[in-house]
Amino acid sequence: MSLTKTITTNSGYDASYWKTTRMDMHLDQKTVWVYLCGYKDKAAFDAGLMPVTTQRVSVMGSHFAGSSVAGVLTKIRACVAAIEGVVAEINTPFDQATIVSTDNI
């Protein structure tokens, strides 16, 4: 996902092309952290240049009320609860040998 909005960074550079690079959901706080990388422009991004800034924006769950995102959050909470239930049933403690590398999935 990309956004176009010119914002002058603390170092004085203008970033006009923004890419979402990561989202962290904090279900206990009902907050989503969105990480955005700002580039000089789309051409800089397409050229593989480094972003001029990275920013984190916190979005409170109340902003999602009535949107399709609210349904997604409900489904994610259900998935997290199911995963926690499975993990609780595992008797063997995790160690390096039992952790599956994402490279192998």
pLDDT tens digits for 63-76? 666 666 666 666 76
**Is 104 inside a domain boundary?**
no
C-alpha to C-alpha distance for 9 and 15, rounded to whole angstroms: 7
- Per-residue model confidence as pLDDT tens digits over 18-72: 998 888 877 777 788 888 899 999 999 999 999 999 888 887 766 666 666 666 6
Domain of residue 48, residue span: 2-91
- Look at the chain and report how many structural domains it folds into: 1
Q: What is the pTM of this model?
A: 0.57
Residue 55 forms part of a structural domain: yes
Q: Is the dihedral of CA 61, 75, 22, 42 positive or negative?
A: negative
- Domain assignment present for residue 100? The answer is no
Token pair recorded at residue 2: 């990309």
